[in-house]
Amino acid sequence: MKNGVGVAQNIVLFGGTSEIGQAIIHKLVKPGVSHVVLVSRDIDAAEVQVAEIAERYPDLEVHHVRFNADDSASMIHVVAEVAQQVGDIDVAVIAQGVLQEGVDYYKNPAALLPVADVNFTGTMVLMYALAAQMRSQGYGKMVLLSSVAGERVRKGNPVYGATKAGIDGFALALDHELIGSGVSVLVVRPGFVTTKMTKGMDKAPFSTDAETVATAVEKAISSSRTVIWVPGLLQYMFLILKNLPTAVWRRLPL
Amino acid sequence: MVMQRLSGWGRTAWTVADLVHTTDVDVVRSTIGTAGERGVISRGLGRSYGAAAQNAGGIVLEMTSENDPMGIDADFDPLTGLLTVAASVSIDAILRMCVPQGWFIPVTPGTRFVTVGGAIASDIHGKNHHIDGSFGQHVHSLTLMLSSGEVIELSPEENAAWFWATVGGMGLTGVVLRATVAMLKIESSRVEVETVRLENFDAVCAAMSADGSDDDYRYSVCWVDLLATGASMGRGVLTRGDHAVASKLENKDPLAYDPRLTVSAPGWVPNGLLNKWSIKAFNEAWYRKAPAKSHIGLESIPAFFHPLDGVNRWNRLYGKQGFIQYQFIVPLDRTDVLRKVIEKFSAAGVASFLAVLKRMGPQNGAPMSFPTEGWTLTLDMAAGISGLAELLSEVDTLVLDAGGRHYLAKDSHVSASAVRRGYPRIDEWMSTQEEMDPIGLWRSDLSRRLGLVDQRRSL
């Protein structure tokens, strides 16, 4: 259940080691939260990062569920296992994602399969399974970490951009389908976020950090917003970028 | 099946449930027969502030009869003052029927738009708690439908444990169908009210203490200005009185009763309308409006008991974010905690439009009934204030450490452990509840959050 001051009792993080996901958990855990479930491949790594929260809130129970994010079909069982451990899933933060750099997809096209499975196919299965669970609860919030990379997919990493474009579109339509059910989706579109995932990469303009993304999510989660951009200015920038003629877009030094 | 988004009066924590409106016993029975594992809760006029009468993913039985063309389903004996009434009937309807006959409801909260069923489930109290106790003490008997569909009769004499588990039981023991209530004889529909302005919190506590003259008045409550600082911190306006005798009303029909809704709150209100500055201005005006010297006058029932009912849907004044009402009680000797709480809210800049202090009398036999001998302070605040969860949690600790507790009908944030600490008889109540509802049918968002019903009992 969530309470009257917007605190959800049971919070689940899919992609338990995601830096942005962890930062969001740190923001959402407040007095009144009873269970946090970390769903990840590497349980030890996920645990280290919440040790500090667990210490601050002695009533809080932290659970772990192992998953393989690229095994799309297994997502159904993952959701069932989480629900079995804590009951209602009040907030699900969906943060699993793969960003491959420097892979030559021309030589090795099959290398993109796990990216598509984690970022797109598996996430869709997961979100439908969560939607079914939350609909039966009469309440629930999914927070999907999308990316501005999906806004207008560009060269350099078309696979990543395309998976984000796909899942972003899916999530918006799913939110639309769920109107009236008490369940909703918040799509988060950060710009370039400096994390371990993007370590060593050149910073894009309007880059941000996990903390800033988490603060924006905390603020938006109890509102009726469906999409947030971090930083907010990106919304207006992409309004222009999306509508540029192809010839101009392709010449931009992005 | 009508899926409906529901919240409490505070308009926070909305969830979706299958809403079934009925006052028919057979429909109630067949509806609970179709319930899935999310269970059922009954709902009256939705005046509980938090999630007591909502049931996410389950069934909500809406039992109201406000516009019933059949009129009020009640049996009233004006000789004995005993009223047997359907649980769906509101105090508003009862007053319209009984006041002209010279009888008043024994306990009324700050709104007359609550049903008898809700009044029992929350064991509501009013300005006369220090003299007359809470609603449950005036209920002679009640008819309850159990989760099995069986209808039983409960009273303090017959099956007392089940009766008192239902009083204050937040609807989790069954559906109250009817109740017999002992009404209060009155000579007039006016209240003789004494209004006193008190310049600080010490003066407020002194005026309301049991050693003072407070017990000479049936009704007593003090409005407190939480935004006043320095020497005026906690200043207030104390109003107390009793039903006026007929001779006080010259040449008027002594029992004339005409409650009217005066204005409606607009459908949309910006989130920040009630803020520190607007409330401060209101408080100043309200304090100055009260006479500096004690003053006695006659007030109507709606003006004295239900001032907020004059503004239809006043709960919308907080805008889309909604609001929470914080009501707690601490023992009589812990006025220091009241002061600390007021200081904490004040320091955090939390403005409260309504802050009310009352001294309560002894507790009744219901394990989950809120009132107990002590001071109860009630304040409301916008739900969207940042850092509110942390602030309330600190205040909760102050209250619980002093041996106090929170009112579940108002609650929208406390934790399961806070209820366990505040209600020492909760285990006894839970085992009676399990006896009455072995299949675990009755569930609400409140019961889920607070673990009031063992979740492992599944249908």
Checking if the pLDDT of B266 tops 80, the result is no
The answer to whether A214 and A230 have CB atoms below 8 angstroms apart is no
Checking if the pLDDT of B458 tops 70, the result is no
Place of tokens 């409330």: B279
Q: Give yes or no for a cis peptide into A231 (omega within 30° of 0).
A: yes
Of A1, A31, A88, the CB nearest to B393: A31
Number of alpha carbons in the 13 Å side-chain half-sphere of residue B55 = 25
**Judged by CB atoms within 8 Å, which residues 221-250 of A form the interface with B?**
222
Q: How many angstroms away from the CA of B352 is the closest CA of chain A?
A: 15
Q: What value does the mean pLDDT take over residues B440-459?
A: 87
Of A32, A34, A139, the CB nearest to B389: A32
For the record, the structure tokens of A63 come out as 């659970």
Phi, psi of B41 (to 5 degrees): -140, 150
Write out chain B residues lying below 8 Å of A135, CB-based: 57
**B178 forms bridges with which residues in the sheet?**
B86, B143
Write out chain B residues lying below 8 Å of A83, CB-based: none
Write out chain B residues lying below 8 Å of A179, CB-based: none
Most confident segment among A188-202, B41-55, B236-250, B339-353? B41-55
Q: Tell me the pLDDT tens digit for each residue of A133-155.
A: 999 999 999 999 999 999 999 98
Of the pLDDT bands very low, low, confident and very high (cuts 50, 70, 90), residue B262 is low
Q: Is this complex scored with an ipTM above 0.85?
A: yes
The answer to whether B334 and B226 have CB atoms below 8 angstroms apart is no
Distances (CA, A) of A185 to A53, A143, B310: 25, 6, 39
Say what the pLDDT of residue B457 is.
65
Kindly name the residue from A57, A105, A106, A160 that is annotated as catalytic. A160
Search chain A and give the residue with CA nearest B417.
Answer: A59
Of B17, B56, B389, the CB nearest to A7: B389
Percent of chain B with pLDDT over 90: 75
Say what the pLDDT of residue B286 is.
80
What are B's interface residues with A at a Cβ cutoff of 8 A? 3, 5, 8, 10, 12-17, 38, 49-51, 55-58, 322, 324, 383-384, 388-390, 392-393, 412-413, 415-417, 445, 448-449, 455
Place of tokens 């709104």: B111
CB count within 10 Å of CB B67 equals: 5
Q: Tell me the pLDDT tens digit for each residue of A175-227.
A: 999 999 999 999 999 998 888 777 777 777 778 999 999 999 999 998 889 99
Percent of chain A with pLDDT over 90: 77
Q: Does A214 touch chain B (CB under 8 A)?
A: no
The total domain count for chain A is 1
Is there a contact between A4 and B417 if contact means CB atoms under 8 Å apart?
no
The DSSP code for A91 is E
Write out chain B residues lying below 8 Å of A32, CB-based: 389, 393, 413, 415
Q: Does A135 touch chain B (CB under 8 A)?
A: yes
In a domain, A4, yes or no: no
Average the pLDDT over each of A188-192, B83-87, B225-229, B428-432 and give the range with the smallest value: B225-229
Best of A2, A3, A181 to disrupt the B interface (most B CBs within 10 Å) is A3
Search chain B and give the residue with CA nearest A220.
Answer: B384
Dihedral sign for Cα B51, B54, B55, B56, please.
Answer: negative
Q: What is the mean pLDDT of chain B?
A: 92
Burial letters A122-153, b for 16+ CB under 10 A, else e: bbbbbbbbbbebbbbbbbbbbbbbbbbbbbeb
Number of alpha carbons in the 13 Å side-chain half-sphere of residue B235 = 20
By CB atoms closer than 10 A (0-12, 13-18, 19+), residue B406 is buried
Checking if the pLDDT of A68 tops 80, the result is yes
Checking if the pLDDT of B459 tops 80, the result is no
Checking if the pLDDT of A44 tops 80, the result is no
Say what the pLDDT of residue B297 is.
92
Q: Residue B76 carries which side chain, given as an amino acid letter?
A: F
**Any catalytic annotation for residue A160?**
yes
Checking if the pLDDT of A131 tops 60, the result is yes
Search chain A and give the residue with CA nearest B13.
Answer: A4
The answer to whether B433 and B152 have CB atoms below 8 angstroms apart is no
In a domain, A1, yes or no: no
Q: What value does the mean pLDDT take over residues B213-240?
A: 90
Place of tokens 């996990």: A210
Q: Which of B366, B375, B341 has the alpha carbon at shortest distance from B425?
A: B366
Q: Does A7 touch chain B (CB under 8 A)?
A: yes
Per the structure, the complete domain to which residue A58 belongs is given by 10-251
Checking if the pLDDT of B350 tops 90, the result is no
Burial letters B164-202, b for 16+ CB under 10 A, else e: bbbbbbbbbbbbbbbbbbebbebebbbbbbbbbbbebbe
Say what the pLDDT of residue B456 is.
64
Say what the pLDDT of residue B261 is.
65
The answer to whether B117 and B134 have CB atoms below 8 angstroms apart is no
Q: How many angstroms away from the CA of B328 is the closest CA of chain A?
A: 16
Q: What is the CATH number of the domain that holds A149?
A: 3.40.50.720
In a domain, A48, yes or no: yes
Q: What value does the mean pLDDT take over residues B124-143?
A: 98
Q: pTM score > 0.90 for this model?
A: yes
Q: How many angstroms away from the CA of B383 is the closest CA of chain A?
A: 5
Of B8, B56, B384, the CB nearest to A137: B56
Write out chain A residues lying below 8 Å of B383, CB-based: 4-6
Search chain B and give the residue with CA nearest A139.
Answer: B15
Say what the pLDDT of residue B354 is.
78
Search chain A and give the residue with CA nearest B12.
Answer: A4
For the record, the structure tokens of B236 come out as 């207030």
Q: What is the mean pLDDT of chain A?
A: 92
Checking if the pLDDT of B372 tops 80, the result is yes
Q: Does A56 touch chain B (CB under 8 A)?
A: no
In a domain, A5, yes or no: no
The A91-94 sheet, strands edge to edge: A61-66, A35-40, A10-14, A91-94, A140-145, A183-190, A227-230
Rounded CA separation B59/A81 (Å): 26
Best of B38, B315, B412, B413 to disrupt the A interface (most A CBs within 10 Å) is B413
Rounded CA separation A208/A200 (Å): 15
Rounded CA separation B378/B381 (Å): 10
Best of B38, B392, B456 to disrupt the A interface (most A CBs within 10 Å) is B392
By CB atoms closer than 10 A (0-12, 13-18, 19+), residue A180 is exposed
The B74-77 sheet, strands edge to edge: B74-77, B82-86, B175-182, B139-145, B151-154
Dihedral sign for Cα B364, B370, B375, B376, please.
Answer: negative
Search chain A and give the residue with CA nearest B396.
Answer: A31
Rounded CA separation B15/A140 (Å): 9
Q: How many angstroms away from the CA of A102 is the closest CA of chain B?
A: 44
Write out chain B residues lying below 8 Å of A222, CB-based: 384
Say what the pLDDT of residue B343 is.
87
Say what the pLDDT of residue A228 is.
97
Q: Tell me the pLDDT tens digit for each residue of A7-31.
A: 999 999 999 889 999 999 999 999 9
Give all domains of chain B, ordered by start, each with its CATH number.
Answer: 3-64+425-450 (3.30.43), 74-185 (3.30.465.10), 190-420 (3.40.462)
Rounded CA separation A206/A185 (Å): 25
Q: Does A253 touch chain B (CB under 8 A)?
A: no
Rounded CA separation A146/A153 (Å): 13
Is there a contact between B13 and A1 if contact means CB atoms under 8 Å apart?
yes
Of B16, B51, B384, the CB nearest to A182: B16
Of B15, B324, B390, the CB nearest to A31: B390
Of B16, B415, B445, the CB nearest to A59: B415
The DSSP code for B92 is H
Of B14, B38, B390, the CB nearest to A30: B390
Is there a contact between B412 and A180 if contact means CB atoms under 8 Å apart?
no
The answer to whether B279 and B353 have CB atoms below 8 angstroms apart is yes
CB count within 10 Å of CB B42 equals: 30
Checking if the pLDDT of B419 tops 80, the result is yes
Average the pLDDT over each of A86-95, B184-193, B263-272, B366-375 and give the range with the smallest value: B263-272
In DSSP notation, B116-175 reads HHHHHHTT---TTHHHH--GGGGEEEEEEE-TTS-EEEE-SSSSHHHHHHHTTSTT-S-E
Q: Which of B90, B16, B12 has the alpha carbon at shortest distance from B60?
A: B16
